[in-house]
Chains A and B, each alone.
Chain A
Amino acid sequence: MRAYLLRRLLVMIPTLFWISLIVFVVLNLAPGRPGELGGDVETNARGEQTQDSFRIFREQFNLDKPILLNTRPWLTPAEVRRDLEMAAELQPVSIAERIAAQDRLGDLGAYGVPHFMAVLEQANAAGQPRLRDAAAYFLRQSAPRRLSDPFNPHPSAAVRAYNDGVARERAALGRLRYGFDAREADKQAVLAGWREWYTGARARFEYEDVEKLRILFFDTRFAKYWNNLLRLDLGVSLATREPVLSALLSKLKYSVSLSLSSLALAYLIAVPIGVVSAARRGTPLDRVTTVALFMLHSLPSFFVATMLLLAFSEASPWPALRLFPTGGFQSRDVAEMTTLGRLRDVVWHLVLPVACLTYGSLALLSRYVRSGLLEVLGADYIRTARAKGLSERAVIGKHALRNSLLPIITLLANLLPAVVGGSVVIEYIFGIPGIGQWTIDSIHRRDYNVIMGVQLVTTVLVLLGMLLADVGYALADPRIRYR
C-alpha cells in the first residue's frame, strides 16, 4: 500500500508538469499583456520614463523572457536590424507593428547587445544617423547587467562584490548617452565610449554550445516559473503584489468548506434516496423520485441560485420569506460573535450556496446508488439471505447495501472536478470570496500568476481527491489490493 501511495504521488508530478505547461502556454500566448492594462496600442505612446518602468516590471516578472524556448543566442544582426528599422520608422509599418518591434527589441536584454553594437557600427559607417541612434538607444537599455539576488537583506561577500561591480558599471554606462538633437561630435565621443566598453565586456556575450543549449531550455519564462514552483513560490499577484500562495491558502478555506460540505451532503442524501427507490422498484414512489432527480439534473445551477436568492433573501418580494442573506460567507459583525454564533452565522450563509452546489451531484449519485443496489439484489447471496428467512430490512441494509456502496466511492473522483468548477458560478452569484470568484476577477485583470496558481492548486486538490477515492475503495473492499 505504501509503495502504491508513493508511486501515485510521484506520477502526479508529470501530470502537474503537463498541466502547468498547457495553462502556461495558453496564458502566455493570449493577446493583451499584464503591466499594460487597458488602453489600446494606437493611443499607448509611451514616454521614456514609463518605458523604463515598464521594462523593469517585465524583467521583474521574467516577462521579457521567451515562453518555452530561448533561441536568442542564435539571433542574427540582420533580424535585429530589421526590427530596429521598424522601430526607428525607417520602414513604412503601422503603429502597432512599430510598437511590437520596439517591445521585441526591449525584451532582448543582453542577447541583443552584440547585434546592437554591430548595427550601430554598420549604420555609423554607412551614414544612417537615425538607425544608429536607435541602435544606441536600445544598446543603452540592454547593456546594464542585472543585480544578483537584489532583495536579499544579507548578501554574501561574493554577491556584494559582484553587485558593487554591476552598480559601478551601470553608473558609467548611464553617462554614455546623448539626446537625439545632440551635436555630431558629442555623439561620436559617446560612441567611442561604447566601443571601449564593448571591447572590454565582449566575452560576456559570446556563448559556448553547451551554454547556448542551457539558455535554450532554461532561460525561459516557463523554466523560471518552475524554478520558483519547486521552492513552493507561486509568484506574486501582478495586480495586488500579494504572494499568490498565501492569498490562495486564505481563500481556499471558503471554497473548500463549500465544496466539501456539498459533497458530504450529496452522499448523505443520495444513499437513502437511492436505497428507497431501489427497494421499492417500480412503485409510484420510485418513478416520482427518478423523474424528480432527472429534472434536477437538468436544472442549471446558476438559474436555481438566482431564483433562490430572489425568493429567499432580502431581495424577496415576500417579507416572510426573507430568511437568508444575499451573499457573502460571514456577517459583517462576525468579530463580536461567540464561536458557536460564528459557526451558526457561516452555516446560515452557506445554506443556499451549498443547496445549489449539491443537487446536481445528488441526482447523479442517487442514480448510481439505485442501479448499483439493483444489480446486487439479483446476486445469489441475496437469494440465500432471503431464503434463510432474513427480514427485507436486514437483507438490504446488511447484505446488499454494503456491497453496492463500494463503487460510488470512486465516483468521488468524477464529481470533484465538477464540484470545484461548479463552485466558480456559485461563488460568483453568492459573493463568496473564495478561489472561484478570485479566478474570475484575475482573468478579467489578466493576473497570470494568480490564474496559473489557482489552476495548479485546484489540480493538486483534485488529484489528491482522486487518490483518496482509490485508497478509500481499497480500504473498504478487501478484495482490492494495490501494489
Chain B
Amino acid sequence: MAAGAASEREAAVGPGTPAPSYSAMVAARFAQRRLAVFGGRAVLGLALLATLAPALAQNQPFYWDAGQGAELPWLSALFNRLLFENAVDLFFNLLLVLAVPAALVIRLLRRLRPGLTRARAWLGALGVALSLFVCASVEGVGDLKNPLYFTQRVVNYRVERERLAALGQEPVAWFPVVPYSYRETDPQHSLRSPSSEHWLGTDSEGRDVFCRMLYGTRVSLTIGIVAVSIYVAIGTALGALAGYFGGWVDTLICRLVEVMITFPSFFLILTLAALIPRRSIFHVMLIIGLTSWTGVARLVRAEFLRQKNLDYVQAALALGLPRRRVIFRHILPNAVAAALVAATFGIASAILTESSLSFLGVGDMSVASWGETLSAGRVQQKAWLVLAPGAAIFFVVTVFNLVGEGVRDALDPKLRQ
C-alpha cells in the first residue's frame, strides 16, 4: 500500500517536486477510477443541461419579427415570474445568463490578483449569484415592490406564429430546438406517443414530456444538493458536539439519533410532506434534510472520538488555541471526509425520495418532477410516460452513486474492496 501511495503521489506531480496536498492526492486517486470520472462528467453534463434548459426548450423565440420591429422575447422571458414562477428556475436562469460574464470577470480578476485561486473565485461568484437570487425571489416587502421581481404578460409565441400563419403572414422567428414550455398544457394533444413533434410524447395534460424531463433535471439536482447540504450541516454539527464533548451531550445526541433511526423515515417524510398546505419544492428539501441527518452525525461523531485524542489536537490545545478553533479548523477538516462520502450517496437517495413523494402525489405540483410524470404514466398505462422519467431517475441516481464510490475510494483507499 505504501509503494502504491508513493507511486500515486508521483503520478500526480512527477518526481522531484514537493509532496502534493491532500486534495491533490484525492483528486489523482479519483481520476484513476474510470467509472467515477465518467460519473463526475455526467454530473457536470447534467448541471449544464439543467442550466441550458431554456435555450433548448421554451416556447419563446430568441428573435421575433412579425413586421412590427424586432423583439427578443426569450431573454425577457427568462426572468418573467409569470412564466418561470418557481425559484429553482429563477436560480438556474440567473446561472445561465451570468455564467459567461462571471467567467470573464474571474479571468480578469485572476490576472490582476495572481494570488486568487480558481476555486475561491468561483465560490465567490456562486455567493454573488445566490445573493442576487435571494434579492430577486422576494416579491416585495409590504407595499414596497421589489424592482428585481419582474412580471410580464406571457405570450405563447408558437401559438402566435400558427395564428399568423393561418392569416397568411410569415413572422421571422428563431425558436429553441423544442418550442414548448414545461407548464404549457394542451388538452387537444394529450397522451400523444413519441413523434418528431413531441420527442418523448405528451402527458395527460398535453405537456411535452421531453421538455418536462429537461426541466426536471433542475428540480432533481437542486433537491439532491440542497437537501443533502441541510442534513450534512445538521449531522456534522451534532456529530462534532457529541464526539468532542462526550458526557451528557453525547448521551443526548445519541438517544436522538437512535430515536430517528427507528423511524421508518419514509413514513415520517410522507406524513410531514402531506400535512403541509401549498407545499413547495423547498418544503420537500427541508423535510428530507431534517429527517436524514443521522448517518452523517454518527460518522462524524465516530471520527471526532478517534481524532480528539491524537497528538495534533493535543498540540493545538496546548498552544492555547480557543476550543472553537480547534474543533472547526483542526479536527473538522479531518473528520469531514466520511461525511463527504455519505453526502454523495445521499444526493442519490434524496433524489429517489423526492421522486417517490411526487409519484405518490405529495410533491410540488408546480415544478416539472420526474416522479409526477411517472405517476401519470402509471395511471394512463402508457409505457413511454413511464420509461422516460424512469430512465432519467435511474441515470441520475446511478451517476451520483458512481461519483460516491469514486469519492469513497479516493478519500480512503483502505475502504476499497
A and B form one complex: yes
Closest A-chain residue to B396, C-beta based? A298
Cβ of B398 < 8 Å from any Cβ of A? yes
A289 in the interface, Cβ–Cβ < 8 Å?
no
Q: Is A298 a contact partner of B275 (Cβ separation < 8 A)? A: no
Known: A307-B386, A374-B417, A443-B270. A302 touches B265 (CB 8 A): no
Q: Give residues 248-286 of B contacting A (CB, 8 Å).
A: 255, 258-259, 261-268, 270-272, 274-277
Q: How large is the interface on B (under 10, 10 to 19, 20 to 34, 35 or more residues)?
A: 35 or more
Can you list, as one digit per residue, whether each of B349-370 has a CB less than 8 Å from chain A (1) or not (0)? Answer: 0001001100110100000000
Query: C-beta contact mask, B9-29 vs A, less than 8 Å → 1, else 0?
Result: 000000000000000000000
Q: State which of B271, B356, B386 has its C-beta within 8 Å of the C-beta of A23.
A: B271
How near does chain A come to B372, taking the closest CB pair, in angstroms?
A: 12
Find A417's partner among B261, B277, B355 (CB 8 Å cutoff): B261
CB distance from A463 to the nearest CB of B (A): 6
- B275 A27 Cβ-Cβ under 8 A: yes
A257 at the interface (CB under 8 A from B): no
Say whether B348 faces chain A, with CB atoms less than 8 Å apart: yes
Given contacts A299-B394, A310-B383, contact A421 B264 (CB under 8 A): yes
Chain A residues contacting B356 (CB-CB under 8 Å) are: 300, 302, 425
Q: Which of these binds chain B: A14-22, A208-216, A334-342, A389-397?
A: A14-22
- Chain A residues with CB below 8 A from B263, complex form: 19, 417, 455, 459
Interface residues of A, count at CB 8 A: 50
A326 to chain B: closest residue by CB: B381
Number of A-B contacts (CB under 8 A): 122
Pick from A307, A371, A462: contact of B390, CB under 8 Å: A307
With a CB–CB cut-off of 8 A, which chain B residues contact A232?
none
Q: Is B398 a contact of A295 with CB atoms below 8 Å?
A: yes
Nearest-neighbour CB distance to chain A for B83, whole angstroms, equals 28
- Determine the residue in chain A with the shortest Cβ distance to B256: A18
Q: Report whether B264 and A462 are in contact in the complex, using a CB–CB cutoff of 8 Å.
A: yes
| Contact of A440 (CB < 8 Å), options: B259, B270, B348 | B270
0/1 string, A445-476, CB within 8 A of B gives 1: 01000010011001100110010000000000
Main secondary structure of the interface of B (DSSP, over half): helix
Closest B residue to A370 by beta carbon equals: B417
Q: How far apart are the CA atoms of A210 and B277 in the complex, in Å? A: 40
Bitwise, A422-456 to B at CB < 8 A (1) or not (0) is 10110011000000000110011010000100110
Q: A421-B264, A462-B264 are in contact. Are A371 and B417 (CB under 8 A)?
A: yes
Evaluate whether A26 and B271 lie within 8 angstroms (CB atoms) in the complex, with A15-B262, A18-B259, A298-B394 already known. yes
The docked-state distance in angstroms from the alpha carbon of A479 to that of B290 is 38
Provide the residues of chain A in CB contact with B390, threshold 8 Å.
Answer: 300, 303, 306-307
Assess the A30–B262 pair: CB atoms within 8 A.
Answer: no
| Of A306, A374, A424, A463, the contact of B378 (CB 8 Å cutoff) | A306
Chain B min CB distance to A9 (Å): 14
Residues from chain B with a CB closer than 8 A to the CB of A422 are: 266
Contact of B276 among A22, A30, A428, A463 (CB under 8 A): A30
A: residues with CB less than 8 A from B are 14-15, 18-19, 22-23, 26-27, 30-32, 294-295, 297-300, 302-303, 306-307, 309-310, 315, 370-371, 374-375, 417-418, 420-422, 424-425, 428-429, 439-440, 443-444, 446, 451, 454-455, 458-459, 462-463, 466
For this complex, 23 residue pairs linking A to B, each with C-beta atoms less than 8 Å apart, are: A18-B259, A27-B275, A32-B275, A295-B398, A297-B401, A298-B397, A298-B401, A300-B352, A300-B397, A302-B356, A303-B390, A303-B393, A306-B377, A307-B383, A417-B261, A421-B265, A424-B266, A424-B267, A425-B359, A425-B360, A439-B267, A444-B274, A455-B271
Pick the 7 closest A-B CB pairs, nearest first: A421-B266, A303-B390, A30-B275, A421-B264, A298-B398, A443-B274, A298-B397
Known: A306-B386, A459-B264. 18 other contacts (CB 8 A): A15-B259, A298-B397, A299-B397, A300-B352, A302-B356, A302-B371, A310-B381, A310-B383, A374-B417, A417-B262, A420-B267, A421-B267, A428-B360, A429-B378, A439-B270, A443-B270, A443-B362, A455-B267
